Amino acid sequence: MKNNQFAIRPTDFKTQLSELREIQFLDQDNESETDTIKLWKSFLSKSFLEAQTSSVLEEKLQTYMATSDMNLDEYLDSATNVTVEAFYNVALQLLKFNPDVDFSFDAPLAAMKKIQLLVADHQKDTFTTDELKSAWYWLLATHNKTGQTFIDSLATKGYFTRFYGKINKPMLFNGKTLPVFDPHQLIREVVYVESPQDSDHDGKRDLLKAEILRPKETENGLKVPVLYTASPYNQGTNDETGEKLTHDVNVPLKHKQPNDLKYSDIEYNDPKTPLPKARNINGQTKHAEETFSRESSYTMNDYFLARGFAVIYMAGIGTKDSDGLRTTGDPEETTSTISIIKWLTGQLPAFTNRTDNIQITAWWSNQKVAMTGRSYLGTLATAAATTGVTGLKTVISEAAISSWYDYYRDGGLVIAPGGFPGEDADVLAEETFSRRLQPGDFHKIKDEWNEQIKDIYQGEDRNSGDYNTFWDARNYHKNFKNITADVFMVHGLNDWNVKPRNVERLWNGIKHNGVTQKIILHQGQHIYINAFRSIDYSDIINLWLTHELLGVDNHAKEIIPNVIVQDNTKPETWTAYKDWASAENEQVNYNLSADKLVTEKSPKATHTFTDQLPENVFNLYRDHNDTWEHDLIATDTKLANNQLTFKTDALADDLTINGKTTVNLKVSSNENIGLLSFQLIDYGKAKRLNVSPSILGKNALAGTYDWREDDLREFTAGKETPFKMITKGHLNLQNRENNYKVDELKPNVFYNVSVELQPTFYKLLKGHQLGLIVYATDFGMTVRGNQNIEYTVQLDDSSLIVPTHTN
């Protein structure tokens, strides 16, 4: 295996000593020790927490080997010095590496290097006491075989319970917080924030429920920052009624009436609805009246709950125990989302219940907030950031939507999130409308809700697929300029649910805001990465939040690389880069020639394909999208007549695509309608990473001692495959200029179109071929009309522009 740690803070020796003292590895009994053997034994004895007597400790020491023929107990009894080799032999065992599999007792340093573990400085083959202290420090900071630093693995064994109840500020090690607050003593309280909106039009400002978990120590003066997760799913979902709204995608593509719209014609403008008066405040209290037992939590938040952070979950307008209606991402939802931040910073009131108007303040808050969460949750974090709300120091936006048009539409087409054909903004609104789960509440709002669903359905306009006022209201790009929070992005390069364009626009859209921005691009789909073995994600976020929310000068902004990309060609490999998808990247221009991608000029030629399939084949692909996906790309393609495929020769060198590939095509349809789809393919046999992570250990990652656990995961290499889809794109031929202006499409007339494929970072290995497939119906994403449409491409007037990464 290979370890990748990006969150290690360089630390001078003096600071190492003071940290070792604070966490009690150094104390008055051992800090002046001059015998390295005795010093080492004192460190070890503090690590074997299970041993409560010296006999048991000796027995444990006997189970480790210090050299190839001497166990640790014997070594400590007989050696006069701690050799570097003995230290790292034992270190590797403490880190759960196995001599039968991972290393040899003859060469521990070689293994440390190979696995990419931290080795401390040393002048000779044996450690001085100072070197040994430093080596122990770095050992504590090093990741083990199960995805935790050694110090965090000691935490799960109970090392830090000694500090429970005895500490009134966060404790730090190597720039990151430690779990010194008892998670079973957390205070759990509910407040109702009065949000400045009336989204259900009942003449009263919406009250929104928030679930708060904070360390008990806040009752005694500790001020804490907040990790806030805005999750519309958090209070439950309506899977059955949502499912019922799902749209039929086996419908034909329709001709659209050409128009001459300009952006100003469809631009969304705040309707400036008059706002009901705020509630009269009848009193003040410091104590909540409502509690809760088990919140629907995000495991990364759980990890921080013992480390001196509060965590808040809020589901927002239209969810269980809150007022309002679901809107799927419009400005009302953004207002709802940031209301809790305004409460935390004293800008909005909250009440202890929905009736009595007794105000409760966030008197325990240090007024610094980070938002966390994936998908819709990360989306709302991004939305919140675009308001520039005070107190929001950073958002960690994972797999987040940055414009809802880029989630449900593309190029004038209805394009489903991968795996969810027929889903749309109305379906998602219904699914998250958890007020339905409380029949007594739903009874009051039923008619209003039915109207709302109709309005969303009208607004989303599945008939045209065009960008319109509805989508403009849900486009966060417009307000990127207002972002003042630092932004930490995480996205999967194989995420076909929230497609990579969403994060690329955010990444490139805030470069002039003057905020710090970081991004991690992994090889997964639509997943969390906080429990992976090969990257220290929790540590990175710990370093980041310790800086952002606790104001600790730990150099997080300098230490964490701006861009970290997981390599797609080998497991457990993550690389730091300066930028991603920069407009300044070099490009390779390919021309289309017969079935080839070539760099020389191509001869005059046209190629034609038809979209229609025999009914039985169509039905097969309709019901089995994965079979279609395979057959489309397979070289012995069953879809030869239904696509055009162009391939480069075998690559003479590795080729890394970095950014947005563009397809320029001169193309005609034999009808007055047309849609085109594109896939970029890596052809070449290779064992590729599975896009879904494997579970290495069920419940193997605990946040701390006797606390919630997560499964340890990793992207592992699958069986050899002959090809892999790199990226894709779509276009309605009636939207050649942009997404809102509808163009005429005359049958059999050639038009020039230019399509930007989803951005990526992808390495094709030497000997592989880069391929482009041009086709029409995308069984996983577009409508599936099985219409008799023929497309003809003028090859010599078409090209493929590939942005590359050159260093």
Nearer to a copy of itself, 59 or 219 (CB): 59
Span interacting with a copy of itself, options 408-416, 439-447, 639-647, 793-801, rule CB under 8 A: 439-447
Q: Which of 347, 281, 340 is nearest to 316 (CA)?
A: 340
Q: Which of 334, 344, 394 is nearest to 367 (CA)?
A: 344
Tokens of 324: 């309002």
Query: Is the Cβ–Cβ distance between 710 and 530 less than 8 Å?
Result: yes
Interface size with a copy of itself, residues (CB under 8 A): 55
Helix, strand, or coil (residue 673): coil
Residue 514 gets which letter from DSSP?
Answer: -
440 binds a copy of itself (CB under 8 A): yes
Name the minimum Å distance from CB 291 to a copy of itself: 5
Nearer to a copy of itself, 705 or 715 (CB): 705
One DSSP character per residue, 114-163 reads HHT------SSSB--HHHHHHHHHHHHTSB-TTSSBHHHHHHHTTGGGGG
> What is the distance, to the nearest Å, from the Cα of residue 361 to the centroid of all Cα atoms in its chain?
32
Nearer to a copy of itself, 64 or 420 (CB): 64
Name the minimum Å distance from CB 59 to a copy of itself: 5
Nearer to a copy of itself, 316 or 412 (CB): 316
Query: Is the Cβ–Cβ distance between 693 and 532 less than 8 Å?
Result: yes
Name the minimum Å distance from CB 294 to a copy of itself: 7
Judged by CB under 8 A, the chain residues 104 through 123 that form the site for a copy of itself are: 105
Nearer to a copy of itself, 73 or 398 (CB): 73
Span interacting with a copy of itself, options 12-20, 430-438, 669-677, 766-774, rule CB under 8 A: 430-438
Phi/psi of residue 702, nearest 5 degrees = -100, 145
Catalytic: 495? yes
Residue 176 gets which letter from DSSP?
Answer: E
241 binds a copy of itself (CB under 8 A): yes
184 binds a copy of itself (CB under 8 A): yes
Catalytic: 375? yes
Name the minimum Å distance from CB 197 to a copy of itself: 21
438 binds a copy of itself (CB under 8 A): yes
Q: Which of 51, 79, 109, 588 binds a copy of itself (CB under 8 A)?
A: 51
The number of beta carbons lying within 10 Å of the beta carbon of residue 627 is 13
99 binds a copy of itself (CB under 8 A): yes
Q: Give the active site residue among 410, 495, 710, 743.
A: 495
56 binds a copy of itself (CB under 8 A): yes
353 binds a copy of itself (CB under 8 A): yes
Name the minimum Å distance from CB 189 to a copy of itself: 9
Q: Which of 29, 240, 553, 653 binds a copy of itself (CB under 8 A)?
A: 240
The CA distance from 772 to 754, in Å, is 14
Q: Which of 150, 140, 156, 173 is nearest to 306 (CA)?
A: 156
Judged by CB under 8 A, the chain residues 689 through 708 that form the site for a copy of itself are: 702, 705-706
The CA distance from 45 to 738, in Å, is 68
Name the minimum Å distance from CB 442 to a copy of itself: 8
Name the minimum Å distance from CB 756 to a copy of itself: 37
Helix ranges (H only) for 473-593 are 501-509, 537-548, 556-559
Q: Which of 53, 80, 123, 264 binds a copy of itself (CB under 8 A)?
A: 53
Query: Is the Cβ–Cβ distance between 470 and 460 less than 8 Å?
Result: yes
356 binds a copy of itself (CB under 8 A): yes
Name the minimum Å distance from CB 721 to a copy of itself: 14
Q: Give the active site residue among 143, 491, 526, 805.
A: 526
Q: Which of 354, 481, 555, 685 binds a copy of itself (CB under 8 A)?
A: 354
Amino acid at 324: G
Span interacting with a copy of itself, options 13-21, 391-399, 436-444, 546-554, rule CB under 8 A: 436-444
Name the minimum Å distance from CB 438 to a copy of itself: 4
Nearer to a copy of itself, 66 or 772 (CB): 66
Q: Reduce the secondary structure of 451-482 to three states and give it as a string.
A: HHHHHHHHHHCCCCCCCCHHHHCCEHHHHHHH
Q: Which of 166, 443, 578, 604 binds a copy of itself (CB under 8 A)?
A: 443
Name the minimum Å distance from CB 440 to a copy of itself: 4
Which residues on neighbouring strands pair with residue 802, listed in sequence order?
A: 588
Name the minimum Å distance from CB 796 to a copy of itself: 42
Q: Which of 91, 87, 94, 109 is nearest to 36 (CA)?
A: 87
Q: Which of 271, 439, 514, 614 binds a copy of itself (CB under 8 A)?
A: 439
The CA distance from 604 to 592, in Å, is 10
Judged by CB under 8 A, the chain residues 141 through 160 that form the site for a copy of itself are: 156-158
Which residues on neighbouring strands pair with residue 761, listed in sequence order?
A: 658
Judged by CB under 8 A, the chain residues 62 through 81 that form the site for a copy of itself are: 62-65, 69, 71-73
Nearer to a copy of itself, 59 or 265 (CB): 59
Nearer to a copy of itself, 55 or 123 (CB): 55
Nearer to a copy of itself, 26 or 92 (CB): 92
Query: Is the Cβ–Cβ distance between 627 and 590 less than 8 Å?
Result: no
One DSSP character per residue, 223-281 reads -EEEEEEE-TTTT---HHHHHHHPPP--S-----------HHHH---------PPPPPP
The CA distance from 595 to 402, in Å, is 36
The CA distance from 757 to 573, in Å, is 26
Q: Give the active site residue among 153, 199, 322, 375.
A: 375
Nearer to a copy of itself, 211 or 548 (CB): 211
Catalytic: 134? no
Name the minimum Å distance from CB 288 to a copy of itself: 8
Q: Which of 84, 187, 60, 177 is nearest to 136 (CA)?
A: 84
Judged by CB under 8 A, the chain residues 255 through 294 that form the site for a copy of itself are: 288-294
Which residues on neighbouring strands pair with residue 598, listed in sequence order?
A: 591
The CA distance from 313 to 789, in Å, is 50
Span interacting with a copy of itself, options 9-17, 47-55, 169-177, 784-792, rule CB under 8 A: 47-55
How would you class 568 by CB atoms within 10 Å of its CB: exposed for 0-12, middle for 13-18, buried for 19 or more?
buried
616 binds a copy of itself (CB under 8 A): no
Q: Which of 708, 695, 705 is nearest to 147 (CA)?
A: 695
The number of beta carbons lying within 10 Å of the beta carbon of residue 270 is 7
Nearer to a copy of itself, 52 or 257 (CB): 52
Helix (H) or strand (E) holding 803: strand 799-803
Alpha-carbon torsion (21, 26, 31, 37), positive or negative: negative
Nearer to a copy of itself, 360 or 665 (CB): 360
Name the minimum Å distance from CB 267 to a copy of itself: 38
| Residues whose CB falls within 8 Å of the CB of residue 156, separated by 6 or more in sequence, listed in order | 148, 702, 704, 705
Q: How many CA atoms lie within 13 A of 401 on its CB side?
A: 22
Nearer to a copy of itself, 358 or 765 (CB): 358
Span interacting with a copy of itself, options 45-53, 456-464, 503-511, 678-686, rule CB under 8 A: 45-53
Q: Which of 55, 220, 280, 616 binds a copy of itself (CB under 8 A)?
A: 55
The CA distance from 472 to 259, in Å, is 18
652 binds a copy of itself (CB under 8 A): no
Query: Is the Cβ–Cβ distance between 351 and 195 less than 8 Å?
Result: no
Which residues lie near a copy of itself (CB under 8 A)?
49-53, 55-56, 58-59, 61-65, 69, 71-73, 93, 98-101, 105, 156-158, 184, 190, 238, 240-241, 288-294, 321, 352-356, 436-441, 443, 702, 705-706
Catalytic residues: 375, 495, 526
